[in-house]
């Protein structure tokens, strides 16, 4: 339920209303919008007399949140969530551009790519140190060593870091090095991981599952938000369809749909969304045109020898040219890179 408080209600009175709602067994979350306190009371225990509550002196009104993803919905919070990471305000007029290798492979590789993407205008360096690979015989990532390299390469070029965390036990370790915790497509419904990143003090990049509906994806975001972490960034990365020409089918419909349903920022990963180098640019441009708040793109200086996803990685020059095009498109839409 959404409990709207009267304008000008004191902090003490706000706390008092929240405490009384908690006494019904509800969990209470707050957002302030247009000078008004909005409380999301979730975990409906049944038997709560909402008509009575709507008559409490500090309460203006009570309304149902008509979707299952309560706290990430626009009904609870009408305004966009903006997440500050390094030099980037994700979800603002400024586009968030994250780029880097699929996997961190070594010092020279990490520093070379960090330098190239920073020069082209990215503000966040991506790179996996723990890799979810379909085959157990493929490169599994450098682990903590990879995180250390990624952090040093990013710091050397004024970039923030996003890196994947694969299980709940790893959250503390990855959070020590990364500014954004990535939950991969294969883990979108790993509920113990969602709970753990929900307690972390770092933003979470939640990728859409390979076969997840938009509602399931938003419910996973709700798992994180309901644990107290309000800094969730959604990432469309393509879904599995009957089409096999591309690695996945990038669902650009999801951008305007999610922007309407949720206040969370939405970025797009056209690298995994297409799986084909020369299809990344067109879909990156289309994503921004469709209203995405940013991009996450795989870039490698020597993709033929990349230990993962070389075929979908852009050369630094291609990334740089794409950034120029993105700047132009952003300008048309009143946004900046």
Strands 59-63 and 2-5: antiparallel
Within 266-285, the residues that bind ligand PEP by CB under 6 A are: 269, 272
Q: Compose the 235-254 pattern: x for residues touching ligand PEP by CB under 6 A, - for all others.
A: --x-----------------
Which 3 state secondary structure label does DSSP give 276? coil
Out of 207, 309, 319, 337, the only residue in the binding site for Mn ion (CB under 5 A) is 309
- Per partner kind, with CB cut-offs from 5 to 8 A, the member of ligand PEP, Mn ion, none near residue 185 is ligand PEP
**184 counts as binding ligand PEP under rule CB under 6 A:** yes
Mark the segment that binds ligand PEP (CB under 6 A) among 58-66, 149-157, 178-186, 189-197: 178-186
Q: Which two tokens stand for residue 72?
A: 């990430």
Strands 96-100 and 124-126: parallel
In sequence order, the 6+-apart residues with CB closer than 8 A to the CB of 11 are none
Question: Please, which residue, 102 or 125, has the CB nearer to Mn ion?
Answer: 102
Which 3 state secondary structure label does DSSP give 244? coil
Least Å from the CB of residue 318 to Mn ion: 16
Least Å from the CB of residue 33 to Mn ion: 37
Question: Please, which residue, 94 or 140, has the CB nearer to ligand PEP?
Answer: 140
Distances from the Cα of 18 to the Cα of 9, 24, 41, 57, angstroms: 13, 10, 8, 13
Out of 128, 141, 198, 203, the only residue in the binding site for ligand PEP (CB under 6 A) is 128
Q: Which two tokens stand for residue 175?
A: 């959070």
- The DSSP H or E segment spanning 160 is strand 160-164
Write the DSSP symbol of residue 137. Answer: T
**269 counts as binding Mn ion under rule CB under 5 A:** no
Q: How far apart are CA 272 and CA 180, in angstroms?
A: 19
Q: How far apart are CA 266 and CA 235, in angstroms?
A: 6
- Per partner kind, with CB cut-offs from 5 to 8 A, the member of Mn ion, ligand PEP, none near residue 237 is ligand PEP
Q: How far apart are CA 226 and CA 205, in angstroms?
A: 16
Question: Please, which residue, 6 or 186, has the CB nearer to ligand PEP?
Answer: 186
Out of 37, 59, 88, 102, the only residue in the binding site for Mn ion (CB under 5 A) is 102
**265 counts as binding ligand PEP under rule CB under 6 A:** no
Least Å from the CB of residue 262 to ligand PEP: 19
Q: CA 71, 74, 75: angle at the middle one, nearest 5?
A: 80
**70 counts as binding ligand PEP under rule CB under 6 A:** no
In the complex, residue closest to ligand PEP by CB: 184
- Beta partners for 221? none
Least Å from the CB of residue 153 to Mn ion: 17
- Per partner kind, with CB cut-offs from 5 to 8 A, the member of ligand PEP, Mn ion, none near residue 196 is none
Q: Which of 185, 154, 173, 184 is nearest to 88 (CA)?
A: 154
Q: How far apart are CA 189 and CA 234, in angstroms?
A: 14
Q: What is the DSSP string of 170-217?
A: GHHHHHHH-SEEEEPGGGTT-HHHHHHHHHSSS-EEEEPPTT--HHHH
**72 counts as binding Mn ion under rule CB under 5 A:** no
**99 counts as binding Mn ion under rule CB under 5 A:** no
Question: Please, which residue, 37 or 206, has the CB nearer to ligand PEP?
Answer: 206
**207 counts as binding ligand PEP under rule CB under 6 A:** yes
Least Å from the CB of residue 310 to Mn ion: 10
Binding site for ligand PEP (CB under 6 A): 102, 128, 132, 184-186, 207, 237, 269, 272
């Amino acid at each position: 339920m959404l409990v709207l408080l009267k304008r000008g209600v004191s902090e003490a009175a706000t706390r008092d209303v929240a405490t009384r709602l908690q006494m019904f067994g509800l969990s209470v979350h707050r957002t302030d919008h247009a000078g008004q306190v909005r409380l999301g009371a979730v975990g409906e225990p049944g038997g709560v007399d909402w008509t009575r509550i709507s008559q409490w002196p500090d309460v203006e009104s009570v309304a149902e949140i008509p979707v299952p993803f309560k706290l990430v919905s626009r009904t609870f919070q009408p305004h966009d969530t903006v997440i500050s990471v390094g030099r980037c305000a994700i979800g603002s007029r400024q586009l968030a551009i994250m780029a880097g290798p699929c996997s961190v492979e070594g010092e020279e590789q990490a520093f070379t790519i960090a330098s190239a993407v920073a020069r082209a205008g990215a503000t966040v360096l991506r790179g996996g140190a723990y890799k979810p690979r379909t085959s157990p015989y493929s490169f599994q990532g450098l682990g903590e060593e990879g995180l250390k390299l990624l952090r040093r390469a990013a710091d050397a070029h004024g970039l923030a870091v996003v890196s994947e965390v694969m299980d709940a036990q790893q959250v503390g370790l990855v959070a020590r090095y990364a500014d954004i915790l990535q939950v991969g497509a294969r883990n979108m419904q790993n509920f113990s991981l969602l709970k753990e990143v929900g307690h972390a003090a770092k933003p979470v990049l939640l990728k859409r599952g390979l076969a997840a509906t938009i509602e399931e994806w938003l419910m996973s975001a709700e798992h994180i938000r309901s644990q107290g972490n309000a800094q969730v960034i959604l990432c469309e990365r393509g879904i599995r369809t009957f089409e096999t020409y591309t690695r996945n089918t990038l669902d650009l419909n999801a951008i305007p749909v999610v922007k309407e349903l949720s206040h969370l920022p939405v970025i797009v990963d056209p690298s995994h969304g297409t799986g084909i180098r020369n299809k990344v640019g067109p879909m990156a441009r289309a994503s921004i045109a469709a209203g995405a708040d940013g991009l996450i793109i795989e870039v490698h200086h020597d993709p033929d020898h990349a230990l993962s996803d070389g075929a979908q990685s852009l050369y630094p020059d291609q990334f740089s040219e794409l950034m120029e095009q993105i700047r132009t498109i952003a300008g048309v839409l009143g946004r900046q890179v």
